Amino acid sequence: MKNKILIASDHAGFVLKKEIISSFDDFSFEDLGTNSEESVDYPDYANLLASKINKSNNINGILICGSGIGMAIAANRYKNVRAGLAFNSDIAKLMREHNNANVLVLPGRFMDIHEAKKCINIFFSSNFEGGRHNKRLKKIV
């Protein structure tokens, strides 16, 4: 069975999102848009993805915008969402292991498909370590 992953981008992340979707056979992506490089507002897509994850504890997502910052800010407004911005695979691994992140945010204008694939592979193959990190997560409200 393939892992289902929600994925969304704004116009600045559209090309990278399409490359990601076509690069993985092990994942089943649910593409929440956008569907072109025509200018759109990133919060619309971050809110759509984050609201779905907020309602379900067993699903993860990927968000992509130009810098990744806007998507991360918008997604983290939701109680059950822990979105982290990764510029490399080391950060993607730590956000899963230490922060139990469930949304990987990528900077579409600053990352090529090769680094994006590394981030995605490590993010979805890493697990939350728990332990000392549990008490820290509980302090986030």
Active site residues: 65, 98
Token readout for 74 is: 């918008």
- Burial class (CB within 10 angstroms; exposed 0-12, middle 13-18, buried 19+) of 98: middle
Characterize the bridge pairing of strands 27-31 and 83-85.
Answer: unpaired
The number of beta carbons lying within 10 Å of the beta carbon of residue 31 is 15
